[in-house]
Amino acid sequence: MELKTKIDALSSKYESLKNRINTEEATKTAFVLPFINALGYDIFNPIEVVPEFTADVGLKKGEKVDYAVMHKGEPAIIFECKHWTEDLSNHSRSAF
């Protein structure tokens, strides 16, 4: 399936689920992991998608992020997840 089609399908699914997602962990399970999977990464392979990755990016020295997608042993994409309703302005943009 083409990436745009996958993302469109996820968007519709998210819209129908969002009011039932009550925690950050549920947000990760219902929204973030399916998105990473749609991008073509194996979310069940901890070498490819590393949960609780210790990031050394920007001001995040030694702090954990929720997921890192790895490429050739290096983090290519990092995900720091929050509950979908959380106001992200409460989090420093300079952290990364």
What are 28-70's pLDDT values in tens digits?
999 999 999 999 999 999 999 999 999 876 666 778 889 999 9
The confidence score (pLDDT) of residue 40 equals 94
State the residue range of the domain holding 8: 3-95
**What is the rounded average pLDDT for all residues in the chain?**
87
The confidence score (pLDDT) of residue 86 equals 85
How many domains are there within the chain?
1
CB within 8 A of 14, min separation 6: which ones?
A: 30, 31
52: left (phi over 0), alpha (psi -120 to 50) or beta: left
Q: What is the 3-state secondary structure (H, E, C) of the chain?
A: CCHHHHHHHHHHHHHHHHHHCCCHHHHHHHHHHHHHHHCCCCCCCCCCEEEEEEECCCCCCCEEEEEEEEECCEEEEEECCCCCCCCHHHCCHHHC
